[in-house]
Amino acid sequence: MSTPTPRPNHPRPGVPLPGQHLADRPEPADPAVIRADVDDLLAELGVRTGVVGAGTDTTGAQDADSGTDLSRRAHILEQAHDVLVRALATVDKI
C-alpha cells in the first residue's frame, strides 16, 4: 500500500491565481459604491418631472408628458444597467 503525499493548502510558487494572466485587468468594483450608484439612479425613478397635476383637462399634454417621463425612466434604467455591466466586467471569470 502506498502512502499518500501530503498536499499543501496554498498554491505552489509560480502558479498564477485566476485572472493574474490578464495584463489589463481592471480593479475589482467596490460593492458599496455600486449599490450607492444604483440606489441613486433608482431613486430618480420615483421623482416625476413634468407631470400635469390632477384635475386639469389637458389629456393631450398629459400623454406627451407621459412619453417624456417614460423616455427619462428608460434612460435612468439604462444608466443603472451600465453601472452593473461595468461592475461585472471587473469580476474574474472561472
Instruction: Answer with the residue of higher pLDDT: 85 or 19.
Output: 85
41 closest CA partner among 93, 88, 94, 83: 83
Domain membership flag for residue 50: no
pLDDT above 80 for 18: no
Domain membership flag for residue 55: no
Q: Which amino acid is at 13?
A: P
pLDDT given for residue 53 in this prediction = 47
CA angle 55, 56, 59 (to 5 degrees): 120
Domain membership flag for residue 54: no
| Mean pLDDT score, 37-59 | 69
Domain membership flag for residue 86: yes
Which three cell numbers, joined as nine digits, stand for 90?
A: 471587473
**What sign does the CA torsion over 61, 66, 67, 72 have?**
positive
Show Cβ contacts of residue 86 under 8 Å, excluding neighbours closer than 6 positions: 29
Domain membership flag for residue 71: yes
27-39 pLDDT, tens per residue? 778 899 999 999 9
Q: How many domains does the chain have?
A: 1
**pLDDT-based confidence at residue 20 (cuts at 50, 70, 90):** low
Q: Which domain holds residue 68?
A: 27-44+61-94
| Mean pLDDT score, 73-81 | 95
